[in-house]
A and B are shown apart, each in its own frame.
Chain A
Amino acid sequence: MKTSFGRSFDELPRIFEASRAFYDAESVGEGDRFAVDFAIEEIFTNMVKYQPGSQSPIEVELRREPDRLVVVLTDRDVDRFDLAEAPVPDIEAPLDKRRPGGLGLLLTRRVMTTFDYEYYDEDRRSRVTMTRELT
């Protein structure tokens, strides 16, 4: 599955409709569906939030390899913003010190097996590639 989506949170239902069709076709289990949807949403919404200057759609690719799922999100006309270097929140902090920022990226890295960020200066393109070993 490889489809482009507009830069809006309102595109999430369309993204999940496409991912569900892919999971059904590939007989992907519930736990893997949850994890990969979580990762896609987190990276997609970060691209929308932190690259407001781009008008380009965001490309979401999902493919299955023998024992894992591969997810690639590609964003164009953007500045370098390495999500892999985002600050990590303290999940042991007491309630009054807790902040939601950064939690999604922490969880994404927890539920996915690998996480890689690449940036191409020549065409101002960023690409996040994640994999998840199938359970």
Chain B
Amino acid sequence: MLEIERSPEGAVTLAGRFDASQADRARPVFDALTGRVTVDMRELAYISSLGLGVLLQAQKRLKASGGGLRLVNVNRHIYDIFTFSGFHHVFEIERADG
């Protein structure tokens, strides 16, 4: 199960598992983001390719208007997936372990 929270400052916190069964629930949240947004992944244990697709689509839309996603507190397994995907070229990413 994926938990999605928005802080009053606009940051997004993801927790749990971002798999294909959660993508339809997450997509409207990311579609509604504007500007520069921090996505805290400290409690995110897992992401699949459909989750990566949701992030990628949001990044394309936000970058086109001068904004973008900053992915922080990324665990090493998800960081590896981001690296294998080439996401480190198109996102600002900070690992949980520095």
Interface residues of A (CB under 8 A from B): 9-13, 16, 30-31, 34-35, 37-38, 41-42, 45, 91-96, 98, 100, 103-104, 106-107, 110-111
| Segment of B7-15, B34-42, B46-54 engaged in the interface with chain A | B46-54
Contacts of B60 in A (CB 8 A): 95-96, 98
Contacts of A30 in B (CB 8 A): 77
Complex Cα distance A104/B54, Å?
Answer: 13
Interface residues on B, range: 20 to 34
Q: How many A-B residue pairs have CB under 8 A?
A: 68
Contact A91 B53 (CB under 8 A): no
**Which one of B1, B48, B86 lies within 8 Å of A42 (CB-CB)?**
B48
Complex Cα distance A91/B49, Å?
Answer: 13
Contacts of B81 in A (CB 8 A): 38, 107, 111
| Given A30-B77, A38-B81, A103 contacting B48 (CB threshold 8 A) | no
Contacts of B59 in A (CB 8 A): 95
Contacts of B27 in A (CB 8 A): none
* CB-CB nearest in chain A for B78: A34
Besides A11-B21, A41-B48, A106-B84, 8 more A-B contacts (Cβ < 8 Å) are A16-B19, A34-B46, A34-B77, A37-B46, A98-B90, A107-B81, A107-B85, A111-B81
* CB-CB nearest in chain A for B59: A95
Contact B50 A45 (CB under 8 A): yes
In angstroms, how far is the closest chain B Cβ from the Cβ of A123? 28
* CB-CB nearest in chain A for B89: A92
Contact A41 B20 (CB under 8 A): yes
